[in-house]
Structure 1
Amino acid sequence: MDQKKIIIIGAGVVGCSTAYYLSKMGQRNITVIEQGPLFETGGSTSHAPGLVFQLNSSKLLTTLANQTVECFKELSSDEKPSFHSVGSIEVASTPERLEDLKRKAGLAASWGMESFILSPEECEEKCSLINSENIYGGLYVPSDGIAKPLRANEKMAEFSISQGAVFYSHTEVTDFDVVDSQIKAVETTAGRFEADIVICCAGFWGPRIGEMAGVTIPLQPLAHQYVFTNDLQELADETEEVTAPLIRDQDRAMYYRQVFKGLGIGSYQHRPLPVEIREITKYGETKEMPSVKPFTPEDFEKPWQDSLKLLPGLTQAGLKRGINGIFSFTPDGMPLLGEAQNVRGFWVAEAIWVTHSAGVGKAMAEWIINGTPSLDLELCDINRFDNFALNPTFYKKRSIENFEKVYAIHHPFMPPETAREMRVSPFYLRQKSLGASFNEKLGWEQPQWYDANALLVENYKNAIFKRKGWAAEYWEPTIEAEHLHTKQYAGLYDATAAKKRLEIKGEDAVEFLQKLTTGNIDISVGQVMNTFMLNELAGIKDEIRVIRTGEAAFLVLCTGAVEASWIKRHLPIESRVAIQDVTAATCSLAVIGPKASDVLQSLAPEFFTSKVWQPGQAKELFIGNVTVLAVYDSYLGTEGWELFTTFAQGLQLWDRLVESGQPYQLIAVGDRALENLRIESLKLRSGKDFWSEHSPYEVGLHHMVDLNKQTFIGKEALLERNNEGPKLLAITLELNDPSIVVMGYEPVFDEDTAVGFVTSAGYAYHLGKGVVHVLVLPEAVKASKELSIEYFGERYTAKIIRESVVTV
């Protein structure tokens, strides 16, 4: 095994977990540097209450939590358990929360976890402290429990040291030696440490460490209230630290755990309490640990009254003491993982709670040693943020908003409220004048629908599918009218935010892209190809669109910043290839629908009628004063054109298209209509219906792989995976009940066995029924039976649509 000099900064639970798994995978030259003592370091791990609620709307976070529980159980002994499996109860204090818990129970089935919806009386039976009269029910997860991270740290460090790792306490990082954007060494109060790889696991100190290396780590520390009660009469006979289930009351933003004869109570109900890193003390400078701020009792007055209603036994107990403990929050609520793009060898594992710690350590070790982790970590990738998101104006405000909403009922279409208008397309003012309802997409303000199209609802009132309940949240019938009108006439869609746009040029451009992609990229100038990029394990990194604009020039459209970073990372240092991100300098409009060609022919007949266009063809041309790269292709089940131009000329292009499109009933359409058109056309979307855990063969898109190519990243692994057979298959189902649509991530059942989950869901007007893309076990497809989907606790039958991407 290739041995590297690895320096881990921070001996909290994340640093110890990472050292542990690197050691288990054979790395021997590991040094862990900690500014405090071992192992109660003074960071968040030291005061964390240890509650592990594994279930999350994110499959990734749930899996990381599952792996953490498994690891901590393995590190336990009878005398000193590192995990107490006591289960958890999430109570519903409102009818809306009870419905949300039913949805969460569905998520549990989707992610392979056991859970049960309980009546109020059953909640009280599970935990006698609960007053069942003030709740509507609950969700019980038996595998949840209490983690003891300091015990786990000692065990993991003990193993790592036995394998050659060295731990330094009371050692402060003072600087880094970075040469030609490559990490070379770490300077500390104990001397200089040569390094091939540095892993920053410094918790809320991470931004300070990153700044020394020239890497922005966009997290915001916030204080969070946690109190200890005096002894409760109901727990007077307890001798164990914890035997009662964890309790969470998300309607009141509270959680509870037993601590011997008393309780620990946490609250997110209070005002945000952001902490600036410069205000955080070093270990030993104050009586309290650096991660603990003085308790603010006025913020706990209402939380305490709410607690008395749920747990009446607290009335006689009262409070013993409280802290405001510091935790890290990020702009999107996800951890920050991976190697920084601008400094090779500088890795980050930040903004991680104890719940996910060991899972993250395992994934980081795999990533560093194998080149890619077995889990898809793109939602956590440190490189997922463009430059706008590295602005403190953005990430501080958005992180605080995430704190405020941490226990809210999260709808997939709920827009963020803070740090908006960070990026706007050249069409923004026109869109506002049309009454666009905006959400954010990769930092851009992206129209979801237009109030100007509300008049169309009357035209299509007999056809529009009217959504109900959860599906009707953040929805308007205008979305359906835009969908139907585009299918009949034409829609104008702002595609500026849809993809990252990279210009790749140079003598070695063809060779570089051939290695990067599964298709034969040596296409003719003016041709367009959709192809995959695979990682080293043959997982789909992205589906990209490649447009050859010259003999040694390509325009590559990839999903986002992570994929763009991955492309740049694979460029050899001595390569004669230049990659330029032109996303901010360009814009894109799509004209879609049966009248799309008529619109363009009327606008520029010399370009759109005098020459024959073939699907998948691109040409540079002029529309009035505007220079355009036009791509003609079938688009979501109908014909369409995508038009690229400079940011400066975008508004002219919009105005010309709108004017010329009036006779053909061209309308501006939003993201929601386009997404439903995609689902109706049975097209799968990279990152939504498949990701890097899946191969092209599993998702039925093997026609995009050219095995005649001599080599490409992941080819050998792909052949091996194909011989082994698929673990999951992507298929499309049609719901038998025409009155039902679902929203995504619901479990799919074969009789009473969960066999997969929904990835995308929409309504197919040509079928008059809801359709869903799902990932399921291969045996469920081979059986050719009717399947069912569970939605808020109810089962709805569905059949496989054979003309979709089914592969058996």
Structure 2
Amino acid sequence: MVEPPRQARVVVIGGGVIGCSVAYHLAGLGWRDVLLLERKQLTSGTTWHAAGLIGQLRATYNMTRLAKYSAELYDRLEAETGVATGYRKCGSLAVALTVDRFEELRRGAAMAGTFGLEAHVLSTAECLERYPLLNADGVVGGVFLPTDGQADPANIALGLAKGARQRGATILEHVKVTGVTARDGRVTGVETEQGPVAAEYVVNCAGMWGREVGRMAGVDVPLQACEHFYVVTEPIAGLPRLPVLRVPDECAYYKEDAGKILLGCFEPVAKPWGMDGIPDEFCFDQLPEDFAHFEPILEQAIRRFPALESAGIHTFFNGPESFTPDDRYLLGEAPNLRNFYVAAGFNSIGIQSAGGAGKALAEWMDAGEPPMDLGDVDIRRMQPFQANKTYLVARAREALGLLYADHFPYRQVATARGVRSSPLHERLAARGACFGETAGWERANWFLPPEAAARGEAAEYRYSWGRQNWFAHSAAEHRAVREACGLFDLSSFAKFRVEGPDAEALLQLVSANDVAVPVGRCVYTQWLNRRGGIEADLTVTRLSETAFLVVTAAAHQTRDLAWLRRHLPEGARCAIIDVTAAEAVIAVMGPNARAVLQPLTPQDLGNEAFPFGTAREIEIGMGLARAHRLSYVGELGWELYVSADMARHVFDAVLESGAAHGLRLCGMHALDSCRIEKAYRHYGHDISGEDHVLEAGLGFAVKTGKPRSAFGDFVGREAVLRRREAGLENRLLQFRLTDPGPLLYHNEPILRDGRPVGRISSGAYGHWLGGAVGLGYVPCRAGEPVEGLLSSAFSVDVAGTIVSAEASLHPLYDPTGARMRA
């Protein structure tokens, strides 16, 4: 039996392609005492039976960067290690069978160009030229990526393992990790069947065992194994070399290899597996055949690829792969355990992701912070409940199929719903709310008006790339906010109380703005990293001399709470408490907001008594609330923080009072369209840890001259000063399409004087401004005046159509902010 060393700098758990990549890249950065432990044999879990497709175009720029790096690494790995990886650039072709799918592909192709990836939009005839064995019946068009490829998955992993050993790493098979040890919130090593190993770092690359390994450390790693099917034919006479073919409308992909065809699928309703645990002896195992489950895919495939009809089936394969609730993998340091990192849950794209993910995680560990914006896959995006087994099984049935489903804008998941809801949920549902899901919260996205319900319309989505069925209803909500008043349920806001004698000092340390304000003041601020990038975008309200309330977006609850706790100095005299579920938040926004609320409270809501940016406790109806005068829509308004037990009463009182003032219930889509008109940033799209706070146009919220905290200068201060001195390299601009027809979502290319220079970071329809509106970064030359930048001719590529755009550095709607301060 193999005896592992008693100590290592880092222990990597799992010898699949991900674990081998992490070990390879850590060793490449010069780390010594890198130890990889594999419970059975390298590649024996999922890697050995992967299809080996190397696609590069992902949903965002950084994910595409990582996938491109994977392809580049595999291209040179054989020369470096001598292990034949089977990697070849054969290209990939995706074909569309519907107009909607073709628009999705065209938008992706336009986006690929801004990512530095070659992509060609093809007609039906051109698709046949690229793939002559295709039955083109029903094919609308396609997109070809010439630099995509395919490879031997197991040999890629073995090549990475050999490269890791050549760089000094130790890789041991048949060593099962049975526990993870920790002390004072920091990992200290692992337990194995052969004894303990002390370590400064532990990396969970355990694949479909990742959830269980996470539980050993007290870390939530939400993933679930599902059965994944493919068949391999007998050799087909005369079969030429072909690119990888994807027919997502038929849930199928085709890979030619050595004169055979591998046909795989991502069926709409998947089969979760291993719910009661994965057998301990699992090693290079297959799951029982289920031909009836695969048969509908095969029948469609025979029509699409007629050569299959006469081809014999050599292998019918069913093997497990792990999937996450949102089909994005899990990467990064655990939010609640220092130096415990995760790289797992790769949703059947582990081979194409392994090189880039391993590199990014190794650099993250080496520097102590991510090398780029990895928010798409950062494990801190997940909520604790999402590791619940019942939830994971329910969601996994849908998640696998969503990989090839139409990726319509605003698409909502259908499974594992109703986990978190506001105290107002039933009242909103009774009034026509159509709910979406964010971080498990059920949130009203739009409302079906009674007259529409009378016509037989339903409060449900009908998806498309154009104006969806809710567009007109949300436009009416938007106009109500601008002309009269709207009511939003924002109870899903994440809320943290920071209390104690050192609460102010802690918040001054992490906040770029000055939070040493009088009681009752609200401060808009960013939390920065050492590079001046934005880690959080939120408000801090002083409740008393020693108590503050931090309010941030629902989706960033885990991330922002972890960031705050990580910066709490040892011995600091304060506590951080998550109070998200304790209070509902009712936002009343619009020029009539004061008229709606004043009759309900004896407190004066006038501008002098209750100015913008302040918070007061008020009586409202027969209840109590804390009213914050803030706005994310750019209008006069208040956010009412009400204890959960009084929320329904306050809602009813506001609704009754608002009837005389044009009050309308509004959803999250209207909130988004109003905020984009005001050019308010959306974290995760417009701003991230990679975006400098000054280039994001948020310098007004940075106070470099504020008094030094008892714990030191605020994080990122030096980076802000350096950038101010050096000058900006990019500017975040607002764009409005001059043609009112096209719609913007995100990642549409921005052109300056006809040349691509950037991409739309977020977009929505500006119902008041009369056209689609987006935000996006544009490079600027050193010393270039803003007037020179804005005098350029800007346009946006919308699915291949160039649309002229008005550009502005300031909000196109109410640029002075006078309306919300009225």
1:804: Cα distance to partner? 3.6
Distance verdict in 2 for CA 1:174–1:598, change over 3 Å: same
Within the candidate set 481, 506, 518, 2:476 is matched to 481
1:797 aligns with 2:795: no
CA distance in 1, matches of 2:22, 2:607: 63
Matched, 1:223 2:218: no
CA distance in 2, matches of 1:281, 1:253: 30
Are residue 66 (structure 1) and residue 68 (structure 2) matched? yes
Residue aligning to 1:493 = 488
Contact 1:205 1:277 in 2 (8 A): no
Separation in 1 of the partners of 2:270 and 2:801? 38
**Does 1:381 find its partner at 2:401?**
no
Say if 1:245 and 1:10 are closer, same or farther in 2 by CA, change over 3 A. Answer: same
> Given that residues 6 and 195 in structure 1 are in contact (C-alpha distance below 8 angstroms), is that contact kept between their aligned partners in structure 2?
yes
User: What residue number does 2:188 align with?
Assistant: 184
Displacement of 1:407: 0.7
Query: Where in structure 2 are the equivalents of 1:289-368 lying within 5 Å?
Result: 289-290=284-285, 292-352=286-346, 353-368=350-365
| 1:137 maps onto 2:144 in alignment | no
Superimposed CA distance per residue, residues 614-655 of structure 1 (whole angstroms, 9 cap, x where no aligned partner)? 211111222233221111235522111111121111111111
| TM-score of the pair, normalised by structure 1 | 0.92
SS of the residue 2:628 aligns to: strand
Partner of 2:213: 209
Q: Is the Cα contact below 8 Å between 1:504 and 1:556 reproduced in 2?
A: yes
Decide whether the 8 Å contact of 2:502 with 2:546 is kept in 1.
Answer: yes
2:585, 2:742 → 1: CA distance?
35
1:535 matched to which residue of 2? 529
Distance, in Å, in 2 between the alignment partners of 1:724 and 1:42 is: 52
Alignment of 1:3-14 (within 5 A): 5-14=9-18
Shift of 1:279: 5.2
The two structures have a TM-score, normalised by structure 2, of: 0.90
Q: Does structure 2 conserve the Cα–Cα contact (< 8 Å) formed by 1:790 and 1:796?
A: yes
The alpha-carbon deviation at position 504 of structure 1 amounts to: 0.3
CA distance in 2, matches of 1:76, 1:723: 46
Contact 2:23 2:161 in 1 (8 A): yes
Kindly provide the amino acid, as one letter, of the partner of residue 252 in structure 2. Answer: M
1:651 pairs with one of 648, 651, 654: 648
**Residue 752 (structure 1) shift:** 4.8
Q: Note the 1:715-754 alignment, pairs <5 A.
A: 715-722=717-724, 725-754=727-756
List gaps (5 residues or longer) in structure 2. 1-6, 456-461, 814-822
Residues 1:708 and 1:805: Cα distance change in structure 2 (over 3 Å):
farther
Shift of 1:508: 0.9
Aligned residue pairs: how many? 784
Q: Does 1:438 align with 2:435?
A: yes
| Equivalent residue number for residue 200 of structure 1 | 204
Match of 1:113 in 2: 117
Cα distance 1:116–1:94, how it changes in 2: closer, same or farther (>3 A)? same
1:453 deviates by 6.1
Say if 1:727 and 1:777, in contact at 8 Å, map to a contact too. yes
Q: 1:392-403, aligned counterparts within 5 Å?
A: 392-403=389-400
1:513 maps to which residue? Answer: 507
Deviation at 1:791, TM superposition (A): 1.5
Deviation, 1:577, is: 1.1
SS of aligned partner of 1:713: coil
Cα-to-partner distance string for 1:293-343 (whole Å, 9 max, x where unaligned): 133222332322222222222233221111112111111111112222333
Q: 1:484 to 1:151 in 2, by over 3 A?
A: same
CA distance in 1, matches of 2:701, 2:777: 19
Q: Which of 540, 551, 571 is the aligned partner of 1:557?
A: 551
**RMSD in angstroms over aligned alpha carbons?**
2.6
Describe the SS at the equivalent of 1:584: helix
Identity %: 34
Higher mean alpha-carbon deviation, 72-81 vs 532-541, is at 72-81
SS of alignment partner, residue 740 of structure 2:
coil
Q: Which runs of 5+ in 1 are unaligned?
A: 459-466
Separation in 1 of the partners of 2:19 and 2:729? 32
AA at the equivalent of 2:769: L
Letter paired with 2:358: G
* Partner SS state of residue 655, structure 2: helix
Contact map agreement 2:673 2:765 (CA 8 A) in 1 = yes
5 Å matches for 1:166-177?
166-177=170-181
The answer to whether the 8 A contact 1:131-1:311 is kept is: yes
1:46 corresponds to which of 19, 28, 48:
48
Whole-Å Cα distance in 2 between the matches of residues 277 and 126 of structure 1? Answer: 42
Does the CA-based 8 Å contact 1:256-1:265 persist in structure 2?
Answer: yes
Is the Cα–Cα contact under 8 Å of residues 186 and 339 in structure 2 kept in the other structure?
yes
Map of 1:758 onto structure 2: 760
Q: Amino acid of the residue matched to residue 748 of structure 2?
A: E
Report the CA distance between 1:29 and its aligned residue: 1.9
1:519–1:531 Cα contact (<8 Å) kept: yes
Instruction: State the partner residue of 1:254.
Output: 252
Paired AA for residue 125 in structure 2: E
Say whether the 8 Å CA contact 1:491–1:668 is kept in structure 2.
yes
Letter of the structure 2 residue corresponding to residue 675 of structure 1: D
Q: Which one-letter code corresponds to 1:280 in the other structure?
A: I
Question: Aligned in 2, Cα 1:366/1:118: closer, same or farther, shift over 3 Å?
Answer: same
Checking the alignment, whether the CA contact within 8 Å between 2:36 and 2:171 is kept in structure 1 is: yes
Deviations 1:363-417 (A, max 9, x none): 1112212121122222322232333323223222112211132211011212211
- Please tell me whether the aligned partners of residues 42 and 289 of structure 1 are also in contact (alpha carbons under 8 angstroms): yes
| Counterpart Cα distance in 2 of 1:153 and 1:723 | 46
| Separation in 1, partners of 2:225, 2:453 | 48
Cα distance in structure 2, aligned partners of 1:345 and 1:97: 42
8 Å Cα contact 2:732/2:775 also seen in 1: yes
Q: CA deviation at 1:726?
A: 4.3
